[in-house]
Amino acid sequence: MPARLNNAFTFPYTFFRQDATEVFRELKSAHLTGINLALNYHGSRDFLLRQGPQLEYLADGFHYYLPDSTKYESDSILPHGKDHLVDNKVLDGVLAAASAEGMKVNAWCVFAHNSAVGIQEPSATVTNALGNHFLSELCPSNLRVQRYFKGMVKDLLSRGVNGIAAESLHFHGARHGEHHERFFMELSPTTEFLFALCFCPSCIAKFEQRGGDGNRLKAKVALALKPFLEDNDPWLGKALSQLFLVELIGTELFDYLVSRERTVSELYADISKLTRASGAKFSYVDQSTLLDMESAKPLGLSWQVGIDNKAVRAQIDAFLPLMYRKLADDIAGIAHNYKNEIGGEIDAILRPTYPDSESSENLIEKVETLSALGISNIDFYLLDTWRPRDLQRVAAALERIA
């Protein structure tokens, strides 16, 4: 039986204020085997507790190391000088301490959700049928964006990380892009989806290479949005589905969705070549579970962000879904969905904190439930924000499946 792997998601801030060896020894005593370290992350405001209560403001699209520009192809987007650390002291120290303690370090990277690049390179961002740029979302179809992603992975792998935990390596919805978002109108899920559907030149070109007419489809989607823009959303109360979209727009919309899934799958294949050559684990941090917090079948929603689950499954080592639910039974339902639909290695991410876990017993029940289903690689989010009791709860839960 392969060794059980249990990581703590963590920001570099923990290592800005505490000796890395001390951190790893503490995690090791809690039965954790490593960390998923945020080395490229999006903007946020976080209440951190590791070294005392502190509000931290994370810069968007920031690289928590000094990038090596030689790892990027020509005509690639490159990290801007203000969007990275001035040296590699922190990362080098973390890697050395982890190695000495027999712990693993995976690079946790947020790929396409990146306002830092988007503001500098608006032509590289998702652009909807109305010509609006989503500056917080890089388009996975854009070749310069793809080179940026691959360059970042090559750079991090060259430093000796044990794996890549890939978040946001896909398209996105209309919301959760900025700190303050204002939509003073009621939007149906269908309107939100069509409003955020990318028709940038790269997406249109990809579709045309595959035999479609992207500009014609773009015009049809813009026309379909007109009633919402001028009066009222006509699809309120109706469920979003591919079938419903085809009824509204036509079969070419389905072909367009397939085209963007192929684009994303090809990008996973390119990155997979890099991770396999380095012997690093490639995990997909799957947020499909958040698209509908009531659904026990999140894989049926992955098309909304351009993910073909079976095609991605063939390229990665593990699906790593966010199992953010209060009840163990709900987590069991999600786990069954993943095991039955795609198989292979399924890992899990739990939060030992509010709003998911109210007690040590609750977390233990979830961990034992997953373990009974054959999922013992369980990662925990987010070390920097935990009270001391939360690490104790993680330790108690992992002790039960040791």
Identify the sign of the CA torsion 307, 308, 311, 312. Answer: positive
159-192 b/e with 16+ CB inside 10 Å = b? eebbbbbbbbbbbbbbeebeeeeeeeeebbbbbb
Instruction: Please state, in angstroms and as integers, the Cα–Cα distance from residue 253 to each residue in 133, 174, 218, 262, following that order.
Output: 20, 18, 9, 14
CA angle (281 as vertex; 380, 72 as ends), nearest 5: 110
Q: How many Cβ atoms sit within 10 Å of the Cβ of residue 215?
A: 13
Amino acid 118: pLDDT? 96
Tokens of 263: 């684009």
Instruction: Please state, in angstroms and as integers, the Cα–Cα distance from residue 240 to each residue in 247, 248, 304, following that order.
Output: 11, 11, 9
Query: Domains in the chain, ordered, with CATH?
Result: 7-182+264-401 (3.20.20.80)
Q: How many CA atoms lie within 13 A of 147 on its CB side?
A: 15
Q: How many CA atoms lie within 13 A of 134 on its CB side?
A: 28
Amino acid 180: pLDDT? 63
Query: Residue ranges of the chain with pLDDT lower than 70?
Result: 1-2, 177-180
Amino acid 156: pLDDT? 98
Amino acid 179: pLDDT? 62
User: SS in 3 state form for the chain?
Assistant: CCCCCCEEEECCHHHHHCCHHHHHHHHHHCCCCEEEEEEEECCEEEEECECECEEEEECCCEECCCCCHHHCCCCCCCCCHHHECCCCHHHHHHHHHHHHCCCEEEEEEECCECHHHHHHCHHHEEECCCCCEEEEEECCCCHHHHHHHHHHHHHHHHCCCCEEEEECCCCCCCCCCCCCCCCCCCCCHHHHHHHHCCCCHHHHHHHHHCCCCHHHHHHHHHHHCHHHHHCCCCCCCCCCCHHHHHHHHCHHHHHHHHHHHHHHHHHHHHHHHHHHHHCCEEEEEECHHHCCCCCCCHHHHHHHHCCCHHHHHCCCCEEEEECCCCCHHHHHHHHHHHHHHCCCCECEEECCCCCCCCCHHHHHHHHHHHHHCCCCCEEECCHHHCCHHHHHHHHHHHHHHC
**Which pLDDT tens digit goes with each residue over 368-397?**
999 999 999 999 999 999 999 999 999 999
Amino acid 85: pLDDT? 96
The span from the CA of 81 to the CA of 385, in Å, is 28
Q: Are strands 163-167 and 281-286 parallel, antiparallel or unpaired?
A: parallel
**Which pLDDT tens digit goes with each residue over 158-178?**
999 999 999 999 999 987 766
Cα-to-chain-centroid distance, residue 43: 14
Cα dihedral 236→239→240→241 (10° resolution): -150
Amino acid 283: pLDDT? 98
Cα dihedral 70→98→315→373 (10° resolution): -170
